[in-house]
Amino acid sequence: MKGREALRVVLADDHHFSREGLRGMLEAEGIVVVGEAANGAEAVRLTAELAPDVVVLDLRMPGGETIAGIAATGHQARVAVLTVSAEGADVVEALAGGADSYLLKDTPAEQLVGGIRVTAAGSAVLSEQAMQTLVAGLVAARDAAVAGDGSLRSLSDREREVLKLIVAGAGNAEIGRELSISRHTVKQHVTNIFGKLAVTTRVQAAVQAVREGL
pLDDT at residue 24 greater than cutoff 80: yes
Banded model confidence at residue 68, pLDDT cuts 50, 70, 90:
confident
Mean pLDDT of 58-69: 80
Q: How far apart are CA 151 and CA 162, in angstroms?
A: 15
Do 20 and 42 lie in one domain? The reply is yes
pLDDT at residue 28 greater than cutoff 90: yes
Banded model confidence at residue 143, pLDDT cuts 50, 70, 90:
low
Do 77 and 121 lie in one domain? The reply is yes
Do 83 and 109 lie in one domain? The reply is yes
Please tell me the total count of domains within the chain. 2
pLDDT at residue 121 greater than cutoff 70: yes
CATH code, 192: 1.10.10.10
Mean pLDDT of 156-171: 89
pLDDT at residue 57 greater than cutoff 60: yes
- What are the b/e assignments for 150-185, b being 16+ CB within 10 Å? bebeebeeebbbbbebbbebbbbebbbeebebeeeb
Do 19 and 120 lie in one domain? The reply is yes
Higher pLDDT, 175 or 59: 175
Per the structure, the complete domain to which residue 162 belongs is given by 132-211
Banded model confidence at residue 139, pLDDT cuts 50, 70, 90:
low
1 within a domain of the structure (yes/no): no
Each residue of 74-101: pLDDT tens digit? 888 999 999 998 887 788 778 877 889 9
Alpha-carbon 118 to chain mean position: 17
- 148 Rama class: left (phi>0) / alpha (psi -120 to 50) / beta: left
Do 67 and 162 lie in one domain? The reply is no
Mean pLDDT of 188-214: 82
